[in-house]
Structure 1
Amino acid sequence: MTDTGNHPADESDIATKTPSQNDLDYKINLLFGGSVVRKDLVKVVKGNAIVPSYVLEYLLGQYAASDDEETIQAGIDAVRRILADHYVHRNEAELVKSTIREKGRHRIIDKVTVTLNDKQDIYQASFANLGLSGVIIEPAIVNANPKLLVGGVWCICDIEYFHSDDVRVVPWILGSLKPIQMSSFDLDGYLESRRGFNTEEWIDLLIQSIGFNPKMFGRRAKLLQLVRLIPFVERNYNLIELGPKGTGKSHIYSEFSPHGMLISGGEVTVPKLFVNNANGRIGLVGYWDVVAFDEFAGKKKRTDKALVDIMKNYMANKSFSRGVETLGAEASMVFVGNTSHNVPYMLKHSDLFDELPEAYHDSAYLDRLHFYIPGWEVDTIRSEMFATGYGFVVDYIAEVLRSMRNTDFSDRYQQHFALGSNISTRDRDGIQKTFSGLMKLIFPTGQATNVEIEELLRFAIEGRKRVKDQILRIDTTMAAVDFGYSDKTGVWHGVSTVEEDEYPEYYQSRSFSADDEAPTAATDTPDHDLEKAAQTSDTLQPHLFEGHREFQENQRGVSYETLLLPHLRGAKEISIVDPYIRLPHQGRNLVDLLSLLAASKDPADEIMVTLVTKAEQGEYEQQHLHMFKEIQDSAATVGIRFAVTWDETIHDRSIRTDHGWKLLLGRGLDIFQKGSGSQYDLGARRQEFRQVFAFGITYIRENGPDVEAA
């Protein structure tokens, strides 16, 4: 079997880069050879086996942790044979039992759970798929693997059969047991190899390790995925994610690590989670690094008041009581659930915790949460989103993350930035734990630039702000907080959430009933100036917004109609400078803008639109030219004279009009994220329903005739 420990590659290990391998995959294999696996292999070998990914990757890590195609294929064949010969399918349990009886001994892969039979003073094992119970297991095995007692562990076991005339004797005997997870790894080697990657490459490696294709995610979307890993790397971290169905909320906690336990929210009890006072046995929080509650949302769900009280105390103080004794534990708590309404509905009628059971819709409980992942920003999982490149073998990275729970980076930002003075201790703890977790994931050596630290700090502040702002809507006695930070020059940087920027008219820090009308937001902000410019006539809105605006990744409610059209309306000549109008979706963006211009003018008028861009070279050159010819012909029918000018020197993006406006476009026209591609996706019909990339736009009024909104 291949050693899955991380070792520096020597020259004999370095394979030549294959044609199908990109630069990142080549570097991954070069620096982490033996500890990575091609992520699409899990699907290849899984078949109909209902087994966590970390079990399959454990086997693939033993046999197929390579970038050599022959070795990979041989490893796949070996893993398939192992699964065919040893994995127990429930519908074949009787056949496996027969095999054990006939052979006398047989190796199986199954989930094993152990209970103590206190009447006979023996430990007994149960096998989930095989359907066996009461199998005697040695105390030494249980002591070495205490998780067998709480939730069970996937194991490779040798089962023997010996029949006795005594009906009280179980004929099944456990010959050996080996948990499916790594026994050791080299943390120093991991940290040293990390230095061979830049930040973007490393984040992409982590995203591929989770199982996703990083090309399908923007920077913010990647960070949201990585926040899901913080509970594995940070002790006593309290995380919640609420959002639509099908976004993979619970996947990481059931598939990613042998140190996490996913349980249904309806199955939680005090004895199971904390302690059974009848026998003194510690519950899940004493043995698992992460305890995640699936299907946690549901207003009508019945809840145990005692459980809620103990949970609040544990989340705040990392301890719970067993009779008169107080015990501590390190398990992080994760709560995931589905929402029934979209964000503006929740903001208008209640709050973003609207779906929680009544007992948990409580400011004292919510204030213990360190970060709220906005699940509505996470894409529904589609087949093209899964990784085909290399990522860490799951049990390897799981052990790395577990070992880094001993590291603390919570103060690394303080040499560059200072949090706001009115941020409470609990808010500060939430921000710092999130920041520390992200640092450990992305910069495990602790080395990061000022800009990189600021990005993570802003993100951590936003996640806690989302929690606190909703608490203020529920409990008006709590003091409002000015979330942000100062840099070393004393300049203040405020932080907002995406939904705050999207729906300012509904984002209130006060409590009101569902029957109340949500108050309107102040109208003296740039956002509202811009919206009014798009919605009112020149007699009502004589001035257009000047200055700079920033939009966050995943923000919705943005369209060319409100963003660009008010400043372009009335122009006779428009010049668009954008070096990247090459791909079909970029051409469609241009057509969307031209159609708005055509619809806003008098049908008898003409507008001259000139695009300054870079020419496509190579095999797609003719396709590129054909796209512009089609746009030109179509635009001419509606009074838009469209022309293209080639300039290979341009880089910046802008729009300039003959009536005095210059718009500096950070991303050009390509501001919208790719949707599902379905013809039934509403985002394909209206831009405001689509998520955007992070971008900025600056409106400059140059010398020219007076400009009024038309």
Structure 2
Amino acid sequence: MDETVSNVLKEAFAGKIVRKDLTKKIKEGANVPVYVLEYLLGMYCATDDEDSIEQGVQRVKGILADNFVRPDEAEKIKSKIREMGSYTVIDKIEAKLDADSDSYKAMFSNLGLRNVVVNDGYVKKYEKLLAGGIWCILRMTYNRLEERDDQDGDSPYSGRKSRSSPFVIEDLNPIQLAHMDMDEFFLGRRQFDKVQWIDTLLRSVGMEPTQFDDRTKWHLLARMIPLVENNYNLCELGPRGTGKSHIYKEISPNAILVSGGQTTVANLFYNMASRTVGLVGMWDCVAFDEVAGITFKDKDGIQIMKDYMASGSFARGKEEKNASASMVFVGNINQSVDVLLKTSHLFDPFPAAMAYDSAFFDRMHYYLPGWEIPKMRPEYFTNEYGLITDYLAELFREMRKRNFGDAIDQYFRLGRDLNQRDVIAVRKTVSGMLKLIYPHGEYNRDDVAEVVEYALEGRRRVKEQLKKIGGMEFYDVHFSYLDNGTFEEFFVSVPEQSSGKLIPEGQGKPGHIYTVSRGDTGLLGVFKIETEMTTGNGKFDVTGVGSAREAKENLRTAQNYFKANKKQVSGTIDCEMHNFLMHVSDCQGVGVASELALCSFVALCGVALHKPIQSQMCVLGNMSIGGTVSKVEELANTLQVCFDAGVKKILLPMSSAADIPTVPPDLFAKFQTAFYISPEDAVFKALGVE
């Protein structure tokens, strides 16, 4: 950040900024969340004077050394509380209702204390104590009497003995901002231009924006949308080490990271026994780390999650509950995106119970391409000034009360391919990004257009994968937006879909042919048959189908038909003096295909005649041993797979002509289509020798 912007930040947000190198310096020696550190740094280092900053840093280090509870020093801290009578500690505590004593009891994360009585007032004021716990600064005292009489004469439990911890919470203060003046914030925001403000936001979460290009900056911003937007569902999958979960674990005290993935309906949504709302009711954002491990102990867990992700409500027992927490799913992709797109889909890392559940993924508002974010390096973390994390978190929380989704309507309308869920998803993303970049509500047409394009891309990425999972139900993926003034339509694509086509341009080798068939996993996929001819005695060898009986029978049908009918194709074909080796490649990992007879026959004729099939052609359909041609099942879905693979020409059996009305016209128009009436006709048209 140049000195001018740094000075503006100091002037606009005096007392609410911190030098992030101080955070980094202390963080390296203390395993404590960033917002805890910056709470202390904001108290003791809010100055420009280097000597005062150094003194403040030493003070913060002293507080952390003396008061922050390290698990291995828990006994020493307990002893200090006992011997000194009163002692201040920094720890994460969680409270639970103890029905037997009609009181709230706290558990200390690092100190290891249990059954510490918490004043009812604290629990009512800070409900998150009951949902996962919060970091607090506490003044603790010690009561040497283990069994204490209830002194409250008005209590129905008066006179009863209550076994509880001798440790007493004298004072409790959550580590969070007490008050947020939004007018003051908007006044400060107006002193920055767009680029300066984006850089300020990134520095506030610890990133150094000068190390990233603009697209990466937007991805880093998008990670913050669930913190400013209610009921926002975000998915980010990518390589390890790109900081996917950092912001939800370290930056915001209003977000909780569910590590490992295993949870229960009671913990996440509603506990019917205690009649308490779970994490979604207590936190602004619930993030799941390592999506591959997401499991529910309850059979209806995923169904309830789908209900909540769609509507922000869920039914338990006789009641329907509402909550506003956003859901974030982060995880690792263990192979390159190109490979994943060719062999599966981009939601593949999710557990088996979800991996092919199109209804679940349709509820995702945005798919953040984690593979476009570089792995974190030391220089990617900033040493400049940024907003105190505490202040930033409260700003995010306040912005959740506002909605900028209708900003689209001032300048644009969305294209016809977007259904209602798509529109909701795009509006939520637009609203979230505008809240982050233009929280004061001052933006123009170009600003909104930039955000709309980004929002459409992320939702289209979801839809492209749904198309692979659910077929023609999700065919409408050509997302666009129209200018209200000029009526010009702008189409938005996703970068990874435009490259890496399975079927390359140009002429292939003789005997090499592509087809689309259903694999033994039940999914449609592209298959490539490669055939080689060598001098020999008429042997046929096949590889690539393993022990699959139906596939082998199909290939044997092709071989026998080739032997019996080769002269009807060309009198020059000689089987007896050659050997034929055929290999079947499953290009998309859908399992072994069975309907391979007709395309294998075309491949054998092609290699025997030394003629390649036409460029970017896919041969569809199948045949029997007698040469009867069968039509293509699920023609629309099959053609969609062809289009995604890069096919430009298709060869169809005439019997499939009756199914053409089932194919969307704009999809069918993508191909040069030829029809055949017999296997021999298919050979002539595939090789272009009519």
> Structure 1 length as normaliser, TM-score?
0.68
Deviations 1:569-617 (A, max 9, x none): xxxxxxxxxxxxxxxxxxxxxxxxxxxxxxxxxxxxxxxxxxxxxxxxx
CA–CA distance in 1 between the matches of 2:210 and 2:219?
A: 15
- Which of these residues, 69, 89, 93, is aligned with residue 112 of structure 1? 93
CA–CA distance in 1 between the matches of 2:313 and 2:54?
A: 49
CA–CA distance in 1 between the matches of 2:53 and 2:225?
A: 31
Q: Taking structure 1 as reference, are residues 165 and 275 closer, same or farther at Cα in structure 2, changes over 3 Å only?
A: closer
Greater Cα offset, 447-456 or 227-236: 447-456
- Which of these residues, 212, 216, 223, is aligned with residue 228 of structure 1? 223
Deviations 1:184-205 (A, max 9, x none): 0211111111111111101100
Aligned to 2:410, the other structure's residue is in SS state: coil
CA–CA distance in 1 between the matches of 2:417 and 2:290?
A: 35
Q: 1:512 maps to what in 2?
A: 524
CA–CA distance in 1 between the matches of 2:201 and 2:120?
A: 38
Aligned to 2:261, the other structure's residue is in SS state: helix
Identity across aligned pairs (percent)?
A: 45
Indicate if the aligned counterparts of 2:463 and 2:474 stay in contact, CA closer than 8 A.
Answer: no
Q: 2:336 maps to what in 1?
A: 342
CA–CA distance in 2 between the matches of 1:331 and 1:21?
A: 37
Quote the RMSD (CA, aligned, Å): 2.2
Aligned to 2:400, the other structure's residue is in SS state: helix
Q: Taking structure 1 as reference, are residues 206 and 161 closer, same or farther at Cα in structure 2, changes over 3 Å only?
A: same
1:486 aligns with 2:482: yes
1:292 aligns with 2:316: no
Deviations 1:429-458 (A, max 9, x none): 101100000000001122112222111110
Q: 2:155 maps to what in 1?
A: none
Q: 1:500 maps to what in 2?
A: 497
Q: 1:156 maps to what in 2?
A: 137
1:170 deviates by: 2.3
1:418 aligns with 2:399: no
1:262 aligns with 2:253: no
Indicate if the aligned counterparts of 2:86 and 2:141 stay in contact, CA closer than 8 A.
Answer: yes
Q: Taking structure 1 as reference, are residues 304 and 342 closer, same or farther at Cα in structure 2, changes over 3 Å only?
A: farther
Q: Taking structure 1 as reference, are residues 305 and 67 closer, same or farther at Cα in structure 2, changes over 3 Å only?
A: farther
- Mapping of residues 165-564 of structure 1, within 5 Å: 166=147, 168-297=163-292, 304-361=298-355, 362-481=357-476, 482-487=478-483, 488-505=485-502, 512-513=524-525, 516-517=586-587
Q: 2:7 maps to what in 1?
A: 26
Indicate if the aligned counterparts of 1:42 and 1:53 stay in contact, CA closer than 8 A.
Answer: yes
1:302 deviates by: 7.3
- Mapping of residues 633-672 of structure 1, within 5 Å: none
Q: 1:83 maps to what in 2?
A: 64
CA–CA distance in 1 between the matches of 2:69 and 2:305?
A: 37
1:518 deviates by: 5.5
CA–CA distance in 1 between the matches of 2:503 and 2:396?
A: 39
1:58 aligns with 2:46: no
Aligned to 1:461, the other structure's residue is in SS state: helix
Deviations 1:480-535 (A, max 9, x none): 22201112212111101111233344899x9534864369xxxxxxxxxxxxxxxx
Greater Cα offset, 343-352 or 165-174: 165-174
Aligned to 1:226, the other structure's residue is in SS state: helix
Q: Taking structure 1 as reference, are residues 517 and 45 closer, same or farther at Cα in structure 2, changes over 3 Å only?
A: closer
1:265 deviates by: 4.3
CA–CA distance in 1 between the matches of 2:309 and 2:327?
A: 8
Deviations 1:318-367 (A, max 9, x none): 10112111010000000111111110111111100111111222100000
Indicate if the aligned counterparts of 1:158 and 1:174 stay in contact, CA closer than 8 A.
Answer: yes
Question: Structure 2: which amino acid aligns with 1:353?
Answer: F
- Which of these residues, 33, 50, 54, is aligned with residue 69 of structure 1? 50
Question: Structure 2: which amino acid aligns with 1:314?
Answer: Y
Q: Taking structure 1 as reference, are residues 68 and 503 closer, same or farther at Cα in structure 2, changes over 3 Å only?
A: farther
Q: Taking structure 1 as reference, are residues 243 and 506 closer, same or farther at Cα in structure 2, changes over 3 Å only?
A: farther
1:120 deviates by: 1.5
Deviations 1:78-98 (A, max 9, x none): 211111121111111111111
Greater Cα offset, 473-482 or 200-209: 473-482
CA–CA distance in 2 between the matches of 1:51 and 1:506?
A: 52
Greater Cα offset, 27-36 or 497-506: 497-506
Deviations 1:655-691 (A, max 9, x none): xxxxxxxxxxxxxxxxxxxxxxxxxxxxxxxxxxxxx
Indicate if the aligned counterparts of 1:303 and 1:359 stay in contact, CA closer than 8 A.
Answer: no
Aligned to 1:476, the other structure's residue is in SS state: helix
CA–CA distance in 1 between the matches of 2:135 and 2:42?
A: 16
Q: Taking structure 1 as reference, are residues 265 and 312 closer, same or farther at Cα in structure 2, changes over 3 Å only?
A: farther
Deviations 1:362-404 (A, max 9, x none): 1000000000011111110000100111111001011111111
Aligned to 2:58, the other structure's residue is in SS state: helix
CA–CA distance in 1 between the matches of 2:53 and 2:336?
A: 45
Q: Taking structure 1 as reference, are residues 166 and 405 closer, same or farther at Cα in structure 2, changes over 3 Å only?
A: closer
Question: Structure 2: which amino acid aligns with 1:220?
Answer: R
Indicate if the aligned counterparts of 1:409 and 1:440 stay in contact, CA closer than 8 A.
Answer: yes
1:267 deviates by: 2.6
Question: Structure 2: which amino acid aligns with 1:107?
Answer: T
1:268 deviates by: 1.4
Deviations 1:635-673 (A, max 9, x none): xxxxxxxxxxxxxxxxxxxxxxxxxxxxxxxxxxxxxxx
Q: 1:538 maps to what in 2?
A: none
Q: Taking structure 1 as reference, are residues 363 and 169 closer, same or farther at Cα in structure 2, changes over 3 Å only?
A: closer
Indicate if the aligned counterparts of 1:344 and 1:506 stay in contact, CA closer than 8 A.
Answer: no
Q: Taking structure 1 as reference, are residues 302 and 281 closer, same or farther at Cα in structure 2, changes over 3 Å only?
A: closer
1:72 deviates by: 1.8
1:303 deviates by: 6.8
Indicate if the aligned counterparts of 2:466 and 2:474 stay in contact, CA closer than 8 A.
Answer: no
- Mapping of residues 671-690 of structure 1, within 5 Å: none
CA–CA distance in 2 between the matches of 1:274 and 1:115?
A: 16
Indicate if the aligned counterparts of 2:146 and 2:166 stay in contact, CA closer than 8 A.
Answer: no
Which stretches in structure 2 are left out of the alignment for 5+ residues? 149-162, 505-515, 527-584, 590-614, 616-690
Greater Cα offset, 73-82 or 183-192: 73-82
Question: Structure 2: which amino acid aligns with 1:367?
Answer: D
CA–CA distance in 2 between the matches of 1:203 and 1:498?
A: 23
CA–CA distance in 2 between the matches of 1:505 and 1:340?
A: 20
Deviations 1:253-305 (A, max 9, x none): 00111110111243311010001111211100111000000111259x67743
1:50 deviates by: 1.6
CA–CA distance in 2 between the matches of 1:506 and 1:188?
A: 57
CA–CA distance in 1 between the matches of 2:193 and 2:101?
A: 59
Q: Taking structure 1 as reference, are residues 101 and 499 closer, same or farther at Cα in structure 2, changes over 3 Å only?
A: same
1:63 deviates by: 1.4
Aligned to 2:447, the other structure's residue is in SS state: helix
Indicate if the aligned counterparts of 1:297 and 1:339 stay in contact, CA closer than 8 A.
Answer: no
Which stretches in structure 1 are left out of the alignment for 5+ residues? 1-19, 520-540, 542-710
1:38 aligns with 2:38: no
Question: Structure 1: which amino acid aligns with 2:587?
Answer: E
CA–CA distance in 2 between the matches of 1:197 and 1:33?
A: 15
CA–CA distance in 2 between the matches of 1:365 and 1:21?
A: 45
